[in-house]
Amino acid sequence: MTNSRNKGASFEREVANLLTNDLNLTNNIRRILEQTREKHLPDLMLGRWYLECKRYGSGAEPLDAWWKQVLEATKNKGIPALVYKFDRRPIKVRVPLGAINPSLHLDSPFTADLLWDDFIFLLKELYANDIADHEQIDQ
């Protein structure tokens, strides 16, 4: 039987590596290890983006509780993103509609689920400052 904590940590590392590679970062994205002890920390951060990663066997849609967990971690602090994957399905990322269209509010209850490549495109096109800020963090 698979240990769910190990499975989750493995997926967090996978997402961190994908972000590092797909955004051509020189400063690697790293897991926030304190998240296991402190409730309101995300799994990963990139600039203002707070990313919660969920890997699950069966299913197609993320649980509402997963999105609520991301919202709790970002309350008045950052931009929430839920990165999730089910077996035999592509990685997807749920973001607030306000992250796609800046004229909408980030705290709106409406969301969009993006394929991984679409999320990377979004980051490169609209959030270059967050990428640059991450690169400036002390390694």
**Rounded-to-integer distance, Cα 122 and Cα 90, Å:** 17
Give the pLDDT confidence of 25-54 residue by residue, as tens digits: 999 998 775 555 455 678 899 999 999 999
Q: Higher-confidence residue: 9 or 92?
A: 92
The distance of Cα 15 from the centroid of its chain, to the nearest Å, equals 8
Pairing of strands 111-115, 92-96: antiparallel
pLDDT at 107: 77
Q: Higher-confidence residue: 1 or 8?
A: 8
Give residue 128's domain range.
Answer: 4-136
For the entire predicted model, the pTM comes to 0.88
Give the pLDDT confidence of 71-113 residue by residue, as tens digits: 988 887 889 999 999 999 999 999 999 999 988 887 778 999 9
The total number of structural domains in the chain stands at: 1
Phi, psi (degrees; rounded to nearest 5) at 86: -110, 155
- Find the CATH number of the domain harbouring 131: 3.40.1350
pLDDT at 1: 43
